[in-house]
Structure 1
Amino acid sequence: MAAGPFGTLRTQRRAPLKPALLMLAVIAGQMRSPAQADPAERVLALGGAVTEIVYALGQGDRLVARDTTSTYPPEAAALPDVGYVRALSPEGVLSVAPDLILAIEGSGPPETMEVLRAADIALATVPEGYDATAIVAKITVVAQALEVPEAGARLVAEVEAALAGAIAAGRTQTPPRVLFILSLQGGRIMAAGADTAAQGIIELAGGVNALSGFNGYQQVSDEAVLLADPDVILMMDRSGEHAAEATDILTHPVLGQTRAAQTGAILHQPGLLLLGFGPRTPQAVEALSAAFRQAQG
């Protein structure tokens, strides 16, 4: 088992598996011997930021598949899709016969990850996080797993320099108070608290989270939103049942009363760019900082 500063290439075995899952593991073990010394050539990326990093390192030609969240760069869309990163099936993952899996922390479900570990497929867990240090850790782990440390060091230097510049340029005397809305399904407000990618990017861009007192993404009360009275409302560009347009905010009985709605400070940003915390985070910070300044007049 090879360990690095941020992650581990796992080939260890865990608790005994159910017979059906064990059979899948045996089949996967026949696809590739863990003793193989050559660099991996059939790489599966799980996590949008992970896939972006692989391409940014110039290693996109080694990818044989990706997960549903991996939507950038555009050429990633041509790869087979093994499913949503937190709802993977062993069959879907093993069907692309990877010899290396790069999985963002939290990939799952746990039963699927147990099958993959028992199959002795090289698996690098890429740590999740929502600050500059986390981006460096992600790049470092992926570059180590792909055996391109020099390219990783160059990419880290580029991203660190660009991010520092974007953060410095985005500072204002009065940080805007920002409400990030994940969903408005059924009129219920699902918003971001602490320890979220949303709060992380808001802070890097020079704002502050308008809500406090809870972690993760949770449904919040009308009273909490009215008390927060955000300067800016931020949402992802998205489609489907979780999508929300500016008109939905303006006509909402609670959100329509906020300062953000009354001044028209309602922002939409691409989801993976905004919340991915990958190589494009400096661009996300620049775009969001500019939007904050414009919203504040």
Structure 2
Amino acid sequence: MKPIFLLLLSVLSFTIQASEIQKPQRIISLAPHTTELAYAAGLGEKLIAASDYSDYPPQALALERVANYRGIKLERILALKPDLILAWKGGNPPREMAKLEQLGIQIFYSHPTSLAAIADSLEALGQFAEEPSVARQAADDFRHTLTQLEQANRHKSAVRYFYQLGSSPLMSMSGNSWPSQVFSICGGENIFADSPVAYPQVSKEQVIVRQPEAMFAAFGSAGPDPQVFSLWQSWREQIPAMKRQQLYQVEVDWLNRPTPRALLAAKTICKQLDEVRQRETE
């Protein structure tokens, strides 16, 4: 029995060692949201390069840039010899990604399409970490906060809103597009939810006819833009949101990136929609 036991112990030890060896040590992220997810999942020390606009957390700013809106730097990526690449499904060029896969580089594709999927992505990334418990804890914390928000806003009255995405051309989003669901958790009712296009180009007349009670836009590092809703001044009396000055701006990275910070956007929006509801009762 003793030789068999020692043999089994040896096999088990080899299996554990092999599992540890298979953990990636050189990771490249090709999208800002995958960079943010990687840090949240405990993979930050393994990141060696990232895409442009990978600016959170602050230590991501020190990473070499190997991708931008024009594409990826294929030759540089290969020179860095990554053993794992984090990619944005639908956001990174498929032809170049296929080349990387053909060369045997492991690719983890991320495309969370719901708030709940953010937690799932964290757990999935945890498999590559030396301490998967970090990712599991981050996922658990996210789900707990998400559940609290859902319960707190479940029975609140709907508030019709317009999300202004650009002004020339004037665009918005459909009900199935990110970040529409961030608004939905707070009881927001998208006036263009029925659009067959993910990010439709809309007219001022369409917005006026649909009578939004609140208007939203996103702001970047320069801070809120006091002129972002100025194009509606001529219709101040025709649009409830303008008439009551229920005009709001949310930090763009919180709102547009499917990462744990999406809950910060949700908390902000929920508070803003509560303000609209309160004014309706006055």
Give the match's secondary structure for 2:164: strand
- Structure 2 CA distance for partners of 1:217 and 1:239, relative to 1, 3 Å: farther
- The reply to whether residue 282 of structure 1 matches residue 263 of structure 2 is yes
- Report the equivalent of 2:59: 75
- Structure 2 CA distance for partners of 1:200 and 1:236, relative to 1, 3 Å: same
For residues 271-297 of structure 1, give each alpha carbon's deviation from its aligned partner in whole angstroms, at most 9, with x where no partner exists.
Answer: 121122212232221111112222443
- Report the equivalent of 1:142: 125
% identical aligned pairs: 24
Query: Of the candidates 185, 200, 208, which is equivalent to residue 218 of structure 1?
Result: 200
Unaligned runs of 5+ in 2: 1-19
Query: Of the candidates 134, 137, 150, which is equivalent to residue 151 of structure 1?
Result: 134
- Report the equivalent of 1:197: 178
1:41: Cα distance to partner?
A: 1.5
- Report the equivalent of 2:77: 93
1:124–1:141 CA contact under 8 A, matched in 2: no
- Structure 2 CA distance for partners of 1:248 and 1:104, relative to 1, 3 Å: closer
- Report the equivalent of 1:9: none
Give the match's secondary structure for 1:178: strand
- The reply to whether residue 180 of structure 1 matches residue 160 of structure 2 is no
Give the match's secondary structure for 1:183: coil
2:142–2:260 CA contact under 8 A, matched in 1: yes
Give the match's secondary structure for 1:174: coil
- Report the equivalent of 1:127: 111
For residues 111-162 of structure 1, give each alpha carbon's deviation from its aligned partner in whole angstroms, at most 9, with x where no partner exists.
Answer: 2112211221111112331232x11221122112446433322221111001
- The reply to whether residue 40 of structure 1 matches residue 24 of structure 2 is yes
- Please give the root-mean-square deviation of Cα atoms over the aligned residues, in Å: 2.6
Distance in 1 (alpha carbons) for counterparts of 2:235 and 2:249: 15
Query: Of the candidates 223, 236, 245, which is equivalent to residue 225 of structure 2?
Result: 245
- Report the equivalent of 2:275: 294
- Higher Cα Rg, which structure: 2
For residues 30-57 of structure 1, give each alpha carbon's deviation from its aligned partner in whole angstroms, at most 9, with x where no partner exists.
Answer: xxxxxx9442121112233322222122
Distance in 2 (alpha carbons) for counterparts of 1:254 and 1:124: 49
- Report the equivalent of 2:4: none
- Structure 2 CA distance for partners of 1:204 and 1:93, relative to 1, 3 Å: farther
Greater relative CO, 1 or 2 (CA 8 Å, sep 6+):
1
Query: Of the candidates 58, 62, 66, which is equivalent to residue 46 of structure 2?
Result: 62
2:232–2:242 CA contact under 8 A, matched in 1: no
- TM-score, normalised to structure 2, is 0.81
1:130–1:196 CA contact under 8 A, matched in 2: no
For residues 155-201 of structure 1, give each alpha carbon's deviation from its aligned partner in whole angstroms, at most 9, with x where no partner exists.
Answer: 2111100111123234563221121111112xx31111132112111
Give the match's secondary structure for 1:252: helix
- Structure 2 CA distance for partners of 1:124 and 1:219, relative to 1, 3 Å: same
1:86–1:109 CA contact under 8 A, matched in 2: no
